[in-house]
Amino acid sequence: MQHPTDTPIRLLLIGDSIADCGRARPVGEGFPDALGGGYPKLLDAMTKVEHPAWRLNLINMATSGDRSRDLVARWQIDCLAQEPDLVLVMIGINDVWRHFDSPLQPQTWVSLTEYEENLRRMAADTRAVGAKILFASPYYLESNAADPMRAMTDAYRARMVAVAQELDIPYVDTQRPFDALLDVYSTYCFSGDRVHPNSVAQYVIARELLRMLETLFQA
């Protein structure tokens, strides 16, 4: 990917509470703490130190509790109106979670089919304005693959990967590095509820995203 050296590149990150982490409202952009306390802030520091020539300006537009349905509903305001060059989408765990924490409210669920449709819609609308879209999969910090929520998360994760491969969208499978770590450490070393990451887990996510960006900018 070719990039200018004189004009900053606007990288917009969008998703749910994993990225939100108290980011500034209405737009999470600028110093010192507008990006919140999660992986967007870590990724910003990493890129500024390791790759200053990229001149990346990160914007955090994640909102706690969002599902892919919510992102699509506000895509014009939260994403396209910010005029990004790159859009990094990490979404899906709440699409899964509502099946478990709201079992009597099916209207809150997002089916696997709708999840795929929403990903495709975000990709199409982003590309239509000339921006590049990137995906980061949902994860669940449970090593037992038979656990019902882990199994459903795996299905949604696999669907995102399939869409990314079909549409030639760069992606990160965030479950993979966590699975390797869960062979050594308990899930409680990374999260109290197997979803919301502590600072160590946020670093894992930021590191994987940095690696994707390094590959992208070297292409």
Question: In this structure, are residues 12 and 88 in contact, taking their beta carbons and an 8 Å threshold?
Answer: yes
List all residues 6 or more positions away from 110 whose beta carbon is below 8 Å from its beta carbon: 67, 68, 69, 94, 95, 98, 118
List all residues 6 or more positions away from 133 whose beta carbon is below 8 Å from its beta carbon: 86, 87, 88, 89, 122, 123, 126, 127, 169
- The 8-class DSSP code of residue 155 comes to H
Known catalytic residue: 3? no
Active-site residue (options: 6, 168, 183, 193):
193
Residue 158 CA to residue 174 CA, distance in Å, equals 11
CA nearest to 158, candidates 119, 200, 211:
119
Neighbours of 143 (CB within 10 A): 15
Residue 15, CA distances (Å) to 8, 51, 182 in order: 22, 24, 24
Active-site residue (options: 16, 17, 20, 95):
17
Maximum Cα–Cα distance across the chain: 54
CA nearest to 120, candidates 61, 63, 71:
71
Q: What angle do CA 174, 186, 62 make, to 5 degrees?
A: 35
Known catalytic residue: 196? yes
Active-site residue (options: 16, 44, 191, 196):
196
The residues annotated as belonging to the active site are 17, 193, 196
